[in-house]
C-alpha cells in the first residue's frame, strides 16, 4: 500500500528526475546495506569453511583442472615433453601432441560448483598431417619460448610472444589459442607460464592493496582509477571499508560513477573490464571477493550479451574452462539493467532498441544454459526480454539526465535491494 501511495505522489509531482522523491535519505539506505553485508560476511565465512572442489564431488566423468605450478616444475614438464618428442623424431616416427580438447562438447557445467569445467577428452595433434601440421609446429615453438621464459624467469605479454615469430604465428589469435592449449597440456594456469595479457580492467573506490610492494589507494587514483595488474601473484594486502563491489560492463557507466565519486556516497569498489572480461580482471575480482567477503553486484546492459558477460564472471568461459576454479567468482547478483526495469523505470521507447534475429537467437540459447536455469529470477527476466524483443543499454538511463544513473537509479536499486 505504501508503495502505491508513493508511486502516485511521484507521478503527481513534477520533479526533474523521475522516482527521485521515492529515495530515502542516504543514511537509511546505508543502514540497510550494512546490516546486509554483515549477514553476508558471516554467511560466507561459515560456508567458506566448506568450499567445494572438484575432488569433493563424485562426478561420473573425470574432469581436468589446472593448478598454479612453480617455474621450475613448468620447466621440467616442458623438458620431459621435448625429450619425448626428440626421441620420437630420432626414432623416425615424427611426433604428435596429445592436447586436451577445449571444444564445447568437452565442457561440463557442474551445478554444485556453479562453474564450467573441462572434461578429459584429448585430441591427437600429429605433425605429419596437413590439418594439424601448423598447430603442432606452433605448439613446439610456444613450448620453446616458454622454456626460455622459465629459464630466465621473466614475464612477457601475449603480444610479445606473438611478435617473437610473426611469420609462423601469422595472427595473434593463433598463438593465443595454442598458449591456452599448452597451459592445458602442462596442467598449469596461464599465469604460471609467465605470459600475461595487457592491462584491460580498471578499479576505483574504497580499496587499498599492494602491487609489487607499492601500496595503492584506489580512492586517490584520479578519475580513471587503477589499472588491474596483469599478474595477480604480485597483488596482496587487500583492505577495504566498502559495503559491496559494483561490477560494471561498460566503460561509459564506469566513468560516470567514478567522476561522481559514487563510492564516497555509498562505500563500494567499482570494477570494469570494458566488455568481455580478461583473465586478470576475473582473477582480481575473485581475489577481492574471497579476501574481503563482499557481495558483488553487476550492472550490465539489458541484452543477451550483458547476461553472457555476467556468466563469464560467474561460472567461467568455455575457452578457459580448464582454469575455472581460479577464474570464477561465485554468487554475483544481477542488479541491473534488467528487462523488467525498462517498464519499472519508465525508460522511454526511443531509448529501447529492437532485438535483432541474432540477439533473439542468443537469448533463446542462453535460456537453455544451465547457469541461467539454476536461477529462476534470471530465467524470468530473460524470458521477458525474449518476449518483448527489446533491449536497452546502460546509457539508456541518460535520457533522464547524465547523472540519473548515479543519483537515482543505483541508490533506488540499493534501497529496494532489487537484485537477483
Partner 1 sequence: MEAGGSSESPADQPKRGKSKTPRKAKDSVLKQKSPAEFFAENKNIAGFDNPGKCLYTTVRELVENSLDSAESISELPVVEVTIEEIGKVKFNTMIGLVDRERVDEELYDDYETAKAREKRLAKEARNQEIQAKNAALGKKVKEPTPAKAMKGRGEASFYRVTCKDNGRGMPHDDIPNMFGRVLSGTKYGLRQTRGKFGLGAKMALIWSKMSTGLPIDISSSMRGQNYVSFCRLDIDIHRNIPHIHIHEKLEKKEEWHGAEIQVVIEGNWTTYRSKILHYMRQMAVITPYAQFIFKFVSDTSDKSMTIKFARRTDVMPPVPLETKHHPSSVDLLLIKRLITETSKQNILQFLQHEFVNISKAHAERLIGEMGPEFQPKMLIKSLTDQQIVRIHQLFRQAKFEDPIGDCLSPAGEYNLRLGIIKELHPDMVATYSGSAQVFEGHPFIVEAGVSLGGKDVKQGLNIFRFANRIPLLFEQGADVVTRTALKRINWSSYKINQMQDKIGVFVSIVSTKIPFKGTGKEYIGDDITEIATAVKYAIQQCCIQLKSKIVKKMQAREQQERKRNLSKYIPNAAGAVYDVLKEMAQSHALKKKRYEDEDATLLGKVSTRLITKDTLTEKLSQHVEQVDYEMALEFATQSGVSEEPREAIYIHSLDTKSDFIDFSNSIFCFRLTRERTINGTCWTL
Does 137 participate in binding partner 1 (rule CB under 8 A)? yes
Per-residue mark of binding to partner 1, 63-102 (x: CB under 8 A): ---------------xx--xx-xxx-xx-xxxx-------
Does 166 participate in binding partner 1 (rule CB under 8 A)? no
Does 153 participate in binding partner 1 (rule CB under 8 A)? no
**In this chain, which of 20, 22, 119, 134 binds partner 1, going by CB under 8 A?**
134
Select which of 163, 263, 345, 409 is catalytic: 163
Under 8 Å CB-to-CB from 239, ≥6 apart: which residues? Answer: 207, 208, 209
Nearest residue (CB) to partner 1, 142 versus 235: 142
Nearest residue (CB) to partner 1, 77 versus 210: 77
Nearest residue (CB) to partner 1, 177 versus 219: 177
Does 274 participate in binding partner 1 (rule CB under 8 A)? no
Among the listed ranges 2-10, 61-69, 121-129, 218-226, the one in contact with partner 1 (CB under 8 A) is: 121-129
Cite the annotated binding site by residue number: 249, 301
Q: Please, are residues 206 and 268 in contact by the beta-carbon 8 Å criterion?
A: yes
**In this chain, which of 107, 136, 189, 321 binds partner 1, going by CB under 8 A?**
136
Among the listed ranges 39-47, 103-111, 137-145, 353-361, the one in contact with partner 1 (CB under 8 A) is: 137-145
Does residue 313 have an active-site annotation? no
Does 143 participate in binding partner 1 (rule CB under 8 A)? yes
Q: Least separation, in Å, of the C-beta of 218 and partner 1?
A: 42
Cite the annotated binding site for Mg(2+) by residue number: 249, 301
For partner 1, the binding residues (CB under 8 A) are 78-79, 82-83, 85-87, 89-90, 92-95, 127-130, 133-134, 136-137, 140-141, 143-144, 147-148, 151, 165, 168
Give catalytic residues, as residue numbers: 163
Amino acid at each position: 500500500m505504501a508503495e502505491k501511495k508513493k508511486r502516485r505522489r511521484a507521478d503527481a509531482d513534477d520533479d526533474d528526475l523521475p522516482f527521485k522523491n521515492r529515495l530515502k535519505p542516504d543514511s537509511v539506505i546505508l543502514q540497510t546495506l550494512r546490516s546486509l553485508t554483515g549477514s553476508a560476511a558471516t554467511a560466507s565465512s561459515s560456508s567458506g569453511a566448506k568450499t567445494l572442489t572438484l575432488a569433493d564431488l563424485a562426478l561420473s566423468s573425470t574432469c581436468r583442472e589446472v593448478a598454479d605450478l612453480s617455474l621450475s616444475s613448468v620447466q621440467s614438464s616442458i623438458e620431459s615433453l621435448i625429450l619425448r618428442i626428440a626421441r620420437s623424431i630420432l626414432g623416425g616416427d615424427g611426433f604428435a601432441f596429445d592436447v586436451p580438447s577445449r571444444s564445447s562438447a568437452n565442457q561440463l557445467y557442474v551445478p554444485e560448483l556453479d562453474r564450467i569445467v573441462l572434461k578429459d577428452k584429448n585430441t591427437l595433434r600429429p605433425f605429419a598431417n596437413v590439418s594439424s601440421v601448423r598447430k603442432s609446429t606452433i605448439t613446439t615453438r610456444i613450448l620453446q619460448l616458454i622454456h626460455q621464459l622459465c629459464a630466465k624467469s621473466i614475464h612477457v605479454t601475449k603480444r610479445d610472444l606473438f611478435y617473437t615469430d610473426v611469420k609462423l604465428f601469422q595472427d595473434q589469435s593463433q598463438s593465443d589459442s595454442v598458449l591456452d592449449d599448452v597451459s592445458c597440456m602442462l596442467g598449469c594456469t596461464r599465469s604460471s607460464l609467465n605470459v600475461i595479457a595487457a592491462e584491460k580492467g580498471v578499479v576505483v573506490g574504497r580499496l587499498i592493496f599492494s602491487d609489487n610492494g607499492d601500496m595503492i589507494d584506489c580512492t586517490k587514483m584520479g578519475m580513471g582509477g587503477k589499472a588491474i595488474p596483469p599478474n595477480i601473484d604480485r597483488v596482496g594486502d587487500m583492505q577495504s571499508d566498502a559495503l559491496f563491489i559494483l561490477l560494471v560492463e561498460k566503460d561509459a557507466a564506469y566513468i560516470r560513477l567514478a567522476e561522481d565519486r559514487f563510492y564516497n556516497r555509498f562505500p563500494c569498489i567499482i570494477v570494469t573490464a570494458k566488455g568481455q572480461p580478461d583473465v586478470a580482471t576475473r582473477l582480481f575480482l575473485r581475489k577481492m571477493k574471497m579476501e574481503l567477503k563482499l557481495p558483488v553486484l553487476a550492472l550490465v546492459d539489458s541484452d543477451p550479451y550483458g547476461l553472457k558477460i555476467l556468466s563469464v564472471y560467474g561460472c567461467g568461459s568455455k575457452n578457459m574452462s580448464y582454469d575455472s576454479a581460479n577464474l570464477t567468482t561465485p554468487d554475483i547478483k544481477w542488479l541491473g539493467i534488467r528487462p523488467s526495469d525498462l517498464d519499472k523505470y519508465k525508460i522511454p521507447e526511443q531509448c529501447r532498441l529492437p532485438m535483432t534475429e541474432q540477439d533473439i537467437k542468443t537469448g533463446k540459447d542462453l535460456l537453455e544454459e544451465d547457469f541461467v536455469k539454476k536461477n529462476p529470477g534470471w530465467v524470468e527476466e530473460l524470458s521477458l526480454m525474449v518476449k518483448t524483443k527489446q533491449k536497452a543499454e546502460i546509457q539508456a538511463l541518460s535520457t533522464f539526465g547524465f547523472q540519473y544513473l548515479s543519483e537515482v537509479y543505483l541508490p533506488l536499486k540499493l534501497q529496494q535491494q532489487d537484485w537477483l
